[in-house]
A and B are shown apart, each in its own frame.
Chain A
Amino acid sequence: EVQLVESGGGLVQPGGSLRLSCAASGFTFSDSGMSWVRQAPGKGLEWISSITGSGDGTYYADSVKGRFTVFRDNSKNTLFLQMNSLRADDTAIYHCGKHWDCWGRGTLVTVSS
């Protein structure tokens, strides 16, 4: 059974940093592109980043480009999202997904002073 479990969310001050993790199991992790999407309170789903199976290709939404970095450790079946220079409008539930058929329940990131 494919499972994706996000962790690392929490409360952080504006300008701060946070690293999200996504532990994957039940499939060949290195064969699958992965993505992060988020849902801010009262808003719809927003794609924010994707990475190829090998990790050599990364893509970002304009809203996070230059602030967020996606990377993966295929030896540990784990996807990461390093989030820097966080802003209040980054407050959201962040979901990781295996292209495109399986998604995690998400981890909540709250950016507030």
Chain B
Amino acid sequence: QSVLTQPPSASGTPGQRVTISCSGSSSNIGRKPVRWFQHLPGTAPKFLIYNNTQRPSGVPDRFSGSKSGTSASLAISGLQSEDEADYYCAAWDDNLNGHVFGTGTKVTVL
């Protein structure tokens, strides 16, 4: 049972915008930076967002992150078929003294 809660699924048609939420608490998102990962089971996780809003080099600007209080969001604009994957938020948790991943959101491109 993760301390970071995400909706289990999200979907959109090609070109649409999809937003994924990540709800935490004052011991994690409320005071620590959020990261986002994209993952297809059986493959290497891909790093999408760090420090709440920053994109590593090579990540398309269609991916954007935001944070407010104890929640964070990942937005995918101009949805493409290759964006179909699982998405996870992550942050350090001061109470657990460790990193935590969100419950994960499966994005489907209709």
Residues of A whose CB lies within 8 Å of any CB of B are 4, 35, 37, 39, 44-47, 50, 59-62, 93, 95, 97, 100-106
Chain B 72-90: CB-based contact to A (< 8 A → 1; otherwise 0): 0000000000000010101
A105 to chain B, nearest CB (A): 5
Does A45 contact B43, Cβ atoms closer than 8 Å? Answer: no
Contact-residue size bin, chain B (C-beta under 8 Å from the other chain): 20 to 34
Does A45 contact B99, Cβ atoms closer than 8 Å? Answer: no
Does B86 contact A44, Cβ atoms closer than 8 Å? Answer: yes
Does A97 contact B45, Cβ atoms closer than 8 Å? Answer: yes
Q: Which of B35, B43, B98, B100 has the most CB of A within 10 A?
A: B98
Chain B 28-58: CB-based contact to A (< 8 A → 1; otherwise 0): 0000000101010111111100100000100
Offer 5 A-B interface pairs, CB within 8 angstroms, sorted by A: A44-B101, A45-B37, A45-B101, A46-B101, A100-B90
Does A45 contact B88, Cβ atoms closer than 8 Å? Answer: yes
In Å, the complex CA distance between A35 and B46 comes to 14
Residues on B with C-beta less than 8 A from A46 are 101
Residues on A with C-beta less than 8 A from B43 are 105
Q: Which of A4, A37, A45, A46 has the most CB of B within 10 A?
A: A45
B90 to chain A, nearest CB (A): 7
Residues on A with C-beta less than 8 A from B44 are 4, 95, 102-106
